[in-house]
Structure 1
Amino acid sequence: MQAMKSGTCLNPWIGSMMGLGIVGMTLGATISSRQSAIALPMQQDQTSPRLVAPLAQLPASLQGTTITVGSTTVPIPWERRGDRLGMADLPLMTHLGLDLQDSTTPDQQPVLWFADEADMLPTWFSNGYRFLDITAWAAQQGWQLTPNGTNLRLQAPSGTVTAGRRGKQVWGDRLVLDVDRPVLWSFDEDATSFTLTLQATPGSSFDPALLTTGEGNELNSLTVATSGGQMQIRGTFDETSRPRVWSLPNPHRVVIDISQVDVVPREIRWAPGVLWQQQYLTVGDRPFPVHQIWLSLSDDTRLEPIWSNANQLPGITPLKTMAATNQAYVAINAGFFNRNNQLPLGAIRRSGQWISGPILGRGAIAWNPQRQFALSRLSLTHTLTTQQGNSFTVNHINSGYVQAGIGLYTSVWGRTYTPITDGERIITVDDNRVIQQTPASAAGTGAYAIPPQGYLLVLRSFNSAAQSLPIGMTVALTPDLRPPNFANFSTAIGGGPILVQNGQIVADAKAEGFSDAFAAQAAPRSAIGVTTDGNLILAAIHFSPGGRGPTLRETAEIMRQLGAIDALNLDGGTSSSLYLGGTIINRHGSTVGRVHNGLGVFINAPQ
């Protein structure tokens, strides 16, 4: 997205959708080519050269998680290194309105704030965030930054709101506030409401009724309140819409758009090996918002499965929490799970170890540090052999999917195992020897210890096998992985169905054991794909404006449009979430369900 020039469309976000018949309107505001008469105070002499140590070599002398503007505190991680101060870029954009522009290098980020031309801010990486060095830029704006523990107080020159207006647009609703100078604001939203707090007071000509009166297309209600040198605007809107706040210069304006067309086209080289893109892609006559992270894996950019609790496999948590806990810079939700008992339902493999095994021969994707990939329907069973020569098939490993037979649970599952079904019999094996047989209690009750160097065999409707597994019996497990070449890959994740294989659309849900209802569903989707040049695409696809989510086949077509020659569907619906630098970028966080596992991107970038 380019910096706006005089005479261009007021909103390049809406203007980009003109091909869909959606046109931005200005509500009578004009763009003037004259320079602002307001002089911005300078806090330091920008012409005097200073010797500053390279950011990558400066330790983080102070860190925090919140910033207070006026009486409002917003969640923005910040970090001070030497005499430089950085703020996490996506939370900064979300809450304080610095608009990130397209970029071609990760160490410099162009931003817009009440300006026609973007300013370039240096970056550094730490603890899962990309920080923008705002030291000199903030001084130019007259901001004062005061750390207080883990909070940073931000003070800026106050302004005056001289006028306000609202109008219904073909694409939604627009609110415009005229201000006498660039003013700091903070913004917060949930699924159906927003609060905009400006460090400004109303001027004598400001009439709040021009904002609060009238019907909206997407806007349901609006209130304006003033207190303590701040103006606060609260609005409610339909759950299919999203608000966006942005600024314009000459004259200075703050604009709030509420629309179902909520994706700003972006192409930002965010980190080494990481490209952030978002756009609308059309299948048939229906446009879908597609948020993407493109990855070029290397020793410095790794993709690994993550899950909610490092000490046990059962459990679910928001992807944002999971990513932050693991200090991942990027994350996407991954495999399926049972939301009721919070157990995994698909393949998870990390560092050559099966964390959870595949089920029902569903699709899985695997990769290794050499940027080699494999995509196939996957199965894994084990043959259990006793010293007496008896053998049994072990159906699944560390899985919430149960059927009659034998399940295998290792210490990766956790310290203990709780029965999933009634009537289970638990065989404890340590050092390849049966040491205990236990009739289990009812499903969901009891906790049975898993030996750190052993495992549990859980017999379900198969008590006859217990006779061949008396205490003291020596046993051995032999894996049977199909296709066998997946053993050559240290990392894998399961999902399904396979969307694209060798450039051809597959999307055969029934062949992978999914229900007819699942196969026909139109819903938000997450997917992973591989391109011809060996890059990975992590994609989240949401509702078409005012309409439905994509079907599996439409998702496959979108992945192929992006250039994927192989692609796998991941868990979708409320699970579909794409995380970047502390922020869920494909939807509002309050609409995201908790998930069992995801894929995290770990970057060895300059710290």
Structure 2
Amino acid sequence: MIRRTTSQSETFDGVVGIIAPGRLIAFSLPSIIALTVYIATSSPVGITKEPVLKAPEREKSQIALPIAKQMPVAPQRSPKGLQTYAALSSSSPNGLSRQVSPVAAPIGGLQKLPARELPLTTQALVPSASPQVYRQGYQVSINGRTLPATWSQWRLGASVRTGISDAGMTQTLGVELLNTGDVTRQPVQWFSQPATQPLMLATQAVGSYRYLDITDFAQRAGWQLEVKGTKLLISSQPAQVADIQPTLQPRGSRMTIDLDRSTPWQVRKKGRELVVTMDAAAAPALLQRFSLLSPAQLPQALKQGKGEKDRETEGDIPSMVPSPHRWKLPAPVVKSIQNQTQIRINIPAGLSPRFSTLPNPNRLIIDFLPEAMVERDILWAKGIRWRQQYVSLGSSRFPVVGLTLNLRLQEDVNLPFFKLKPIWSHPSKMVGVGLLSETAEMWHASAAVNGGFFNRKNQLPLGAIRRDGRWLSGPILNRGAIAWNDTGAVKIGRLALQETLITATGARLPILFLNSGYVKAGISRYTPEWGATYAPLIDDEIIVVVQNNQVTSLLAGGIAGKNAFPIPRNGFLLTLRANRGPAGSLPLGTKVRVEGATVPDDFNRYPHIVGAGPLLLQNRQIVLDAKGEQFSDAFDRLAAIRSAIGTTADGNLMIVTVHNRTGGTGPTLREMAALMQKMGVIDALNLDGGSSTSLYLGGQLLDRPPSTAARVHNGLGIFLQPRR
């Protein structure tokens, strides 16, 4: 839901090793359909295909074990999943059992990997056929500290390969994902020079995650790997922190951490405090220099250090701010216990952290900048591109994070590369909300983006949701919607649903809403798609029970929310709100039928629909009319974080999130329309936004820290299909 924002959006929080270590990603639009990418591969041995419902409310988003299943059926109460961003705690994220059989003990016990130089760029690429997966888990232990991350082992010919999800690689090891147009290989940076020392990891899609093959990477780093149950143990030689140097930069400030060797590191945020944890020991003298220092003491502490200037290879950041002295020098507090060093830093006001690593000497660099997002272009899967970019509009620069889907790959209905489906927080009913990451994991989705509006108080949908031709929730107020089929055809426009109840006597009674949380005097209809029961939304409703096209009961609704009325599987309920007149046309035994059609009627040709609004673009022209779609004037004027979806001339579907402009607020609706127009979109729809804006891919939120994401009702899912 959109809420008023006046300060600069935070681009980092609660992230471990950052979304892309060394790069802070911050961006989000008002509302992006909950996009869920499902990787529907064959289910690995030991993993059930049954769906998992999201766990009770919890503070941080979680990662579920990858399961190859698209449509949740026979929902069960689910254990909590994994935290989307790793925390420093070494304890298990929860003590609940998971929907997975015990993992077999590793072949040969401890898998020792000798330290040796390997040409990582010559690794075997991903085969076209699905691998033989025989182990999977959802925790990675690094030198005794357990962090949430999905991993998998599979056979490739005669060898056994080990992979960690790309989200797990960035959040637990500090690996940065680099740009690539090759779905079979992912270049990464980890204490390396990308231009001269590219590290190339083979990719493998299993379940709803994409794994990066770390087998040779681990050998090169001198790690030892061991599997215990669902936990992958990584043992590495601890590093030494040689020095810590805070410095001012033209556009902010920098913290340089010198290490004697490469080592795993993680990051999380507590409010405005950044906590960096490394598998490295720090000398007592260094600890004394940075132990609970005040800002006034910091300059003297720095004089005791090496005082080395930044190397030319690190590169100063070009000045975009006339007075660099406006920034404050970071004042770190350093603690070290048992080969683990923790550095706490207060993030300077108006800045956000960006992370990077360098070799020779090994360095972890934290830049605090007004624009911390790293621009990115990664072909994550066939037909799915992850992009991050700054888009200028007048004097403003907006961070845009999105997914671009090649819909032309869906033209072969018998062998599509991916499918799009609406998703919602509870598969068996329409009431309820959940974190987008949890909803995506519950549906076993590889990616997701938030969708339409809802009532945050009663957690009911306020707009169209249609899946496989079934109306889970009907459209309201002639608002904008997106409709699509399974062969890549898409329609974006304003949508209404007109239903009429016709009795045997010829009476025609208009039905205002279908399976909706929107309340207005008149008749609404609720079908089994709504759930097993219906609870009145206002006092004194009259409930008409229809079974087999015949009125079987008329009941008093009583006090709103107090009673739950069963919805017959062979019929539906009608509720008469603030108007008892139609009850006279519906005595017991009356035969009835329902006629209905979408307006415009071509929407009815599409099996999948998600409604939101307002409509932004049609035929490349801005057609914004918030008042015409019955949004308030305040909503129309509001500048906020936003999500949107649209089609392009080359047959792509673009899903974007936009956060606050540099030094200011998020875009207004008109600015959002102009941004989509500038990015080449032909038809575009605004989605729910503000704190609801969330874009999920492969186990992580791309646009924001999980701790800042609100719970949402529904979204749009993307399901990758196995190639046969």
Count of aligned positions: 570
Q: What does residue 102 of structure 1 align with?
A: 179
> Relative contact order, CA 8 A, sep 6+: which one is greater?
2
The worse-fitting range, judged by mean Cα deviation, of 327-336 and 51-60 is 51-60
Amino acid at match of 1:72: R
1:309-333 Cα deviation digits (max 9, x unpaired): 0010110000010011111111110
The worse-fitting range, judged by mean Cα deviation, of 190-199 and 312-321 is 190-199
Alpha-carbon distance change, 221 to 404 in structure 1, aligned in 2, over 3 angstroms:
farther
Whether 1:279 and 2:389 are equivalent positions in the alignment is yes
Amino acid at match of 1:582: G
Q: What does residue 259 of structure 1 align with?
A: 369
Q: What does residue 214 of structure 1 align with?
A: 295
1:507 is paired with a residue of what secondary structure? coil
Q: What does residue 165 of structure 2 align with?
A: 88
Asked if 2 retains the 8 angstrom alpha-carbon contact of 1:527 and 1:539, the reply is yes
> For 1:490-505, what aligned pairs fall within 5 Å after superposition?
490-505=607-622
Asked if 2 retains the 8 angstrom alpha-carbon contact of 1:318 and 1:594, the reply is yes
The worse-fitting range, judged by mean Cα deviation, of 191-200 and 441-450 is 191-200
| Residue 373 of structure 1, CA deviation | 1.7
CA distance in 1: counterparts of 2:374 and 2:388, whole angstroms: 7
2:429 is paired with a residue of what secondary structure? coil
| Residue 487 of structure 1, CA deviation | 0.8
Q: What does residue 162 of structure 1 align with?
A: 242
Is there any run of 5+ residues in structure 1 with no aligned partner, and where? 1-10, 15-40
> For 1:123-162, what aligned pairs fall within 5 Å after superposition?
123-162=203-242
- For normalisation by structure 1, the TM-score amounts to 0.89
Select which of 330, 333, 336 maps to 1:226.
336
Select which of 127, 140, 150 maps to 1:77.
150
| Residue 418 of structure 1, CA deviation | 0.8
Alpha-carbon distance change, 442 to 50 in structure 1, aligned in 2, over 3 angstroms:
closer
| Residue 193 of structure 1, CA deviation | 3.1
Q: What does residue 473 of structure 2 align with?
A: 356
Select which of 363, 366, 373 maps to 2:490.
373
CA distance in 2: counterparts of 1:433 and 1:62, whole angstroms: 54
1:39-92 Cα deviation digits (max 9, x unpaired): xx9447969x99999584433222111212234322211111131111010232
Asked if 1 retains the 8 angstrom alpha-carbon contact of 2:123 and 2:202, the reply is no
Select which of 535, 556, 572 maps to 2:689.
572
1:132 is paired with a residue of what secondary structure? strand
Q: What does residue 395 of structure 1 align with?
A: 512
Amino acid at match of 2:382: P
Amino acid at match of 2:137: G
Asked if 2 retains the 8 angstrom alpha-carbon contact of 1:425 and 1:458, the reply is yes
CA distance in 2: counterparts of 1:507 and 1:219, whole angstroms: 45
Amino acid at match of 2:333: T
CA distance in 2: counterparts of 1:75 and 1:241, whole angstroms: 28
CA distance in 1: counterparts of 2:477 and 2:149, whole angstroms: 43
Q: What does residue 36 of structure 1 align with?
A: none
Asked if 2 retains the 8 angstrom alpha-carbon contact of 1:165 and 1:210, the reply is no
CA distance in 1: counterparts of 2:124 and 2:247, whole angstroms: 51
Q: What does residue 186 of structure 1 align with?
A: 266
Asked if 1 retains the 8 angstrom alpha-carbon contact of 2:22 and 2:354, the reply is no
Whether 1:414 and 2:531 are equivalent positions in the alignment is yes
2:180 is paired with a residue of what secondary structure? coil
2:628 is paired with a residue of what secondary structure? helix
Whether 1:524 and 2:524 are equivalent positions in the alignment is no
Q: What does residue 431 of structure 2 align with?
A: 314
Alpha-carbon distance change, 125 to 418 in structure 1, aligned in 2, over 3 angstroms:
same
2:205 is paired with a residue of what secondary structure? strand
CA distance in 1: counterparts of 2:684 and 2:349, whole angstroms: 30
Amino acid at match of 2:188: V
Amino acid at match of 2:177: L
Q: What does residue 172 of structure 1 align with?
A: 252
Alpha-carbon distance change, 551 to 79 in structure 1, aligned in 2, over 3 angstroms:
same
- For normalisation by structure 2, the TM-score amounts to 0.75
Q: What does residue 481 of structure 1 align with?
A: 598
| Residue 489 of structure 1, CA deviation | 1.0
CA distance in 2: counterparts of 1:57 and 1:476, whole angstroms: 49
Amino acid at match of 1:214: P
CA distance in 1: counterparts of 2:280 and 2:370, whole angstroms: 29
Q: What does residue 248 of structure 1 align with?
A: 358
Whether 1:468 and 2:541 are equivalent positions in the alignment is no
Asked if 2 retains the 8 angstrom alpha-carbon contact of 1:66 and 1:151, the reply is yes
| Residue 247 of structure 1, CA deviation | 0.9
Q: What does residue 138 of structure 2 align with?
A: 65
Whether 1:342 and 2:459 are equivalent positions in the alignment is yes
Amino acid at match of 1:126: V
1:555 is paired with a residue of what secondary structure? helix
1:264-321 Cα deviation digits (max 9, x unpaired): 0100000011000001101110001000100013122111110000010110000010
The worse-fitting range, judged by mean Cα deviation, of 402-411 and 189-198 is 189-198
The worse-fitting range, judged by mean Cα deviation, of 89-98 and 208-217 is 208-217
Asked if 2 retains the 8 angstrom alpha-carbon contact of 1:396 and 1:408, the reply is yes
Whether 1:385 and 2:502 are equivalent positions in the alignment is yes
Equivalent pairs: percent with the same residue?
A: 41
Amino acid at match of 2:405: L
Amino acid at match of 1:288: F
| Residue 192 of structure 1, CA deviation | 3.0
CA distance in 2: counterparts of 1:493 and 1:73, whole angstroms: 39
2:200 is paired with a residue of what secondary structure? strand
Whether 1:596 and 2:713 are equivalent positions in the alignment is yes
2:582 is paired with a residue of what secondary structure? helix
2:170 is paired with a residue of what secondary structure? helix
Asked if 2 retains the 8 angstrom alpha-carbon contact of 1:372 and 1:534, the reply is no
1:511 is paired with a residue of what secondary structure? coil
Q: What does residue 189 of structure 2 align with?
A: 112
| Residue 363 of structure 1, CA deviation | 0.7
Amino acid at match of 1:59: Q
1:123-164 Cα deviation digits (max 9, x unpaired): 111222110011111111111122222222211111111111
Alpha-carbon distance change, 236 to 153 in structure 1, aligned in 2, over 3 angstroms:
farther
| Residue 543 of structure 1, CA deviation | 0.6
Alpha-carbon distance change, 176 to 50 in structure 1, aligned in 2, over 3 angstroms:
closer
Alpha-carbon distance change, 551 to 219 in structure 1, aligned in 2, over 3 angstroms:
farther
1:65 is paired with a residue of what secondary structure? strand
CA distance in 1: counterparts of 2:220 and 2:330, whole angstroms: 38
Alpha-carbon distance change, 250 to 221 in structure 1, aligned in 2, over 3 angstroms:
closer
Alpha-carbon distance change, 440 to 218 in structure 1, aligned in 2, over 3 angstroms:
farther
CA distance in 2: counterparts of 1:504 and 1:552, whole angstroms: 14
Amino acid at match of 1:435: T
| Residue 605 of structure 1, CA deviation | 4.2
Q: What does residue 34 of structure 1 align with?
A: none
Asked if 2 retains the 8 angstrom alpha-carbon contact of 1:65 and 1:75, the reply is yes
Alpha-carbon distance change, 459 to 72 in structure 1, aligned in 2, over 3 angstroms:
same
